[in-house]
Structure 1
Amino acid sequence: MQTHADTQTHPPGALAGLRVVDLTQMLAGPFCTQVLADHGADVIKVEAMTGDGTRITGPFCDDDTLREFGGYFQSVNRNKRSIAVDLKSSTGREILRKLIDSADVVVENFRAGVMERLGLSYETLRETNPRLVYGTVRGFGDPRSGESPYAQWPAYDVVSQAMGGMMGITGPDRDTATKIGPGVGDTIPALMLCIGILSAVHRARGTGHGQFVDVAMTDAVLAMCERIVYQTSYTGVVPAPEGNRHPLLCPFGLFRSRDGQVSIACATDAFWEKLAIAIGRPDMATDEAFATNAARVQHQQQVIDAIEAFTTVRTKEEIAAVLGGKVPFGPVYTAAEIFADPHYAVREMLVEVEQPGSARPVKIAGVPIKLSDTPGAVRRRAPLLGEHTEEILLATGYTERDIKGLRETKAVR
């Protein structure tokens, strides 16, 4: 069975010709470089001799005989090539330096100071590659952009969600902060870093000069929670968890159905009028207690009760038949419902790839950014550890004899 992992029929992508040396691990960094790879960049994933730590993280297919990597690694490392290098050795560091000298971009998410200790700081690298764009994503940023008192604190998604303000407005009530389900404390900073890198690449192509691009995970999360900043500044009131409601709009949130929940968002009075009629309450469209958003916010519970009188006696499918296409509406989907929905099939958002060691392909999330002339694509599965070491080194100028020697001394795998 041919999958996206073993066919090269896709066009090259808008970033074809952009070479990225990827020194990242876990989620934030790899997600950033994968977005670049999806759109055609040649991303060389430089791994330790033992590999990215997420290679051993599941889930794994039941029949996977290799256990080279599981779903986590597969999901955020597709379209990349892998080379395994011992950066603790001077030979390994020399190899990395040669790779970076011929690259447009290097991305890393080590703690601040690690690359400096390896003798591979941005300032050192730009001496031989002045057009280099050097991207970093760390919990609290790099000291070059402003030294945080937490600069040396390690951080994961849950930390940036907490300190960036996201958890502080999420939860069932004012006293119960709640973690957002997906790793947005990693993926949001990753997307911010993508924007920064591409901005710097654009400038470098015009001037020949690269620059340092720094994203703090906490800063990126705060930027996405922008509402809490202006609310506090304008009113002096500190926002708190709001459950499934919105403090400024009504109705805007989740509502119970017979088989789950649905989302309804009427940010305008025109949408509210359509909703009121659809749920059999045309009187609420003209009643001054509900006719405007400001009035509805003041009488929020009555609005919620009226809507749930309609939704709680119907299934999600039945509600969709009435509200779909009329007002902003969507059922709360499980992954099983996403797999069954034709929207995601026609948009190519569930992509099959080969899983080494398993007899069956697996599905990962597709490319959400759709370009008409140079579309992104899942062109290849995630790489085995060191799968492309030889081809990368040959292209860098090493001979087959050189590579044999490097392997014998365990400088590469």
Structure 2
Amino acid sequence: MKAARPLEGVKVVELATFVAAPSATRFFADQGAEVIKVESLGGDNLRYGAATEGRPDDPEENLTFDIENANKKGLCMNLKKPECFQALMTLLAEADIFITNWRPQALAKMKLDYDSLKERFPRLVYGSVTGYGDTGPDKDLPGYDATAFFARAGMLGSLYERGTAPMNLIPSMGDRQSGMCLAAGVLAALYSARETGKGEKVSVSLMGTSIFMQGTMIQSTQYGKINYPIVKQETLNPLMACYKTKDGRFIQLALPVYDMFLPRFAKAMGREAWIEDPRFCDSNSLQSGHTGAFYDTVAARFAELSTAEVSKLLTEADLPFSVAQVWREVLEDPQAWATDCFYKKNYHTGMRILVRNPIQFEEAGLPPYECGPRLGEHTQEILEGLGYTSKAINSMRHAGDIICC
């Protein structure tokens, strides 16, 4: 028998759209928390992004909505109406955590900012995701991962090869990293609130998360030894580069300490002469103007070998590397399946593969999976739980203030 899920008994209210904040609450829901997702009458915009993601526009098979909103309950109402706003206040009175990604000025206008709520709900943990932070000249700018995480924080402008164009972006990658940072902070605050009786505000920005994720190179750029964007021949360590094989695949090396890894790498590639070459024999010699020559030398050797041949040589030498797989290959990766990165879900059109959160619990086991709520799916259930009568709920529905389904 599996142990109880770690967050059973915790109640979370989510007032958020798209990915970053909902990915945090999805993690809470997976771990047993009761998560109530509050949506406007139009619904979370994430419900409507099929065309740009290459998947069917089918509300009954919305993998993107499900990955952020599975295991939650859905409440749909117009918070501009007093009765609906009061229902939200009643929910917050029972909640342990409130999560939002509304922009600061919108929260202040609705009296849903932290300062407006902390006196009323002193134990409440308040979690917020923004594009650019809660302070500063750009705090009210709209922020998405493509702009705040990738572009503004330096990733997009630094990590392409000079003379080409910036890379294609991965939708929601920055959002999910920010969401998991938020989840970590909120759980720390929840622990404190239960110990002290005092709530806290936890803030995460897409820009700040990206800067943290890139911290190694953002800090190191102060020394001026390398100025991005670069061409591959300018990399400080060619043993951390990506090389093309004879059959057209790319293999990424990860040998960060040049002097330690060079002898094993050279022997594995059948090029022991590199160890004695005065240009390449150690990192000081290499970085005295010879990184480009060594990159070209390694590239030429890779071009002589197939992907299978290089993989065999590097595996036998116990050197860290990986073939650069594409997404369709990842879906079939046996190691990913062996470590429960995926699960299968039957939709009305057939079986689909979905992605799991990477955090796993040994005793509690893998979480169950219920699709994200249909728009307003649990509105009546939640309102009845707050003490609303069927007559009052029907009145709100007929007035167009709520959606029930």
TM-score, structure 2 as length reference:
0.89
SS across alignment from 1:137:
strand
User: 2:165 & 2:17 partners in 1: Cα distance?
Assistant: 32
Q: Which moved more, 1:21-30 or 1:293-302?
A: 293-302
d(CA) in 1 for partners of 2:234, 2:139: 34
Matched, 1:213 2:205: no
* C-alpha distance in structure 2 between counterparts of 1:49 and 1:184, whole Å: 27
1:211 to 1:406, Cα distance in 2 relative to 1, 3 A:
same
Residue pairs, 1:223-234, within 5 angstroms: 223-233=212-222
The alpha-carbon distance between structure 1 residues 281 and 198, as it changes in their structure 2 partners (threshold 3 A), is: same
User: For the residues of structure 2 that align with 1:324 and 1:284, how far apart are their CA atoms?
Assistant: 20
d(CA) in 2 for partners of 1:10, 1:389: 31
Match of 1:304 in 2: 295
Say if 1:295 and 1:79 are closer, same or farther in 2 by CA, change over 3 A. Answer: farther
**Mapped contact 1:85–1:411 kept (Cα < 8 A):** yes
- The alignment status of 1:201 with 2:201, answered yes or no, reads no
Q: Deviations over 1:17-74 (max 9, x none)?
A: 2221111111222222222223332221111112101111115765x7x535633212
Query: Are 2:17 and 1:28 aligned?
Result: no
Amino acid across the alignment from 1:137: V
The within-5 A match list for 1:204-283 is 204-233=193-222, 235-236=223-224, 239-242=227-230, 247-257=235-245, 258-268=247-257, 269-283=259-273
| Structure 1 residue identity aligned to 2:285 | A
Higher deviation after alignment, 295-304 or 263-272: 295-304
In structure 2, distance between residues paired with 1:120 and 1:56: 26
Paired positions, count: 396
Distance between the aligned counterparts of 1:301 and 1:239, measured in 2? 15
Report SS of the residue matched to 1:113.
helix
| Equivalent residue letter for 1:172 | E
Aligned: 1:405 with 2:366: no
Name the aligned partner's letter for residue 391 of structure 1.
Answer: E
Change in CA separation of 1:15 and 1:316 when aligned onto 2, cut-off 3 Å: farther
Q: Which residue of 2 aligns with 1:3?
A: none
Shift of 1:114: 1.3
Secondary structure (helix, strand or coil) at the match of 2:331 reads: helix
Residue in structure 2 matched with residue 50 of structure 1 by the alignment = 42
C-alpha distance in structure 1 between counterparts of 2:28 and 2:154, whole Å: 28
Q: Which structure 1 residue ranges, 5 or more long, are not aligned?
A: 1-8
Give the root-mean-square deviation of aligned CA atoms. 2.6
1:140-193 per-residue CA deviation (whole Å, 9 max, x = no partner) reads: 211xxxx21112211211211211121232111178544543433322322221
Q: Distance in 2 between matches of 1:151 and 1:195?
A: 22
Classify 1:266/1:87 alpha carbon distance in 2 versus 1 (closer, same or farther; 3 Å).
Answer: same
* Helix, strand or coil at the partner of 1:114: helix
Percent of residue pairs identical: 28
Alignment partner for residue 387 of structure 1, among 366, 377, 380? 377
Deviations 1:264-295 (A, max 9, x none): 11113333222111110122234443233343
- In the alignment, which residue of structure 2 is the partner of 1:344? 336
Matches within 5 A, 1:97-176: 97-142=89-134, 147-160=135-148, 161-173=150-162, 176=165
Q: Which residue of 2 aligns with 1:74?
A: 66
Tell me, yes or no, if the aligned pair for 2:104 and 2:113 is still in contact at 8 Å.
Answer: no
If the length of structure 1 is used for normalisation, what is the TM-score? 0.87
Instruction: Please give the secondary structure, in 2, of the residue aligned with 1:46.
Output: strand
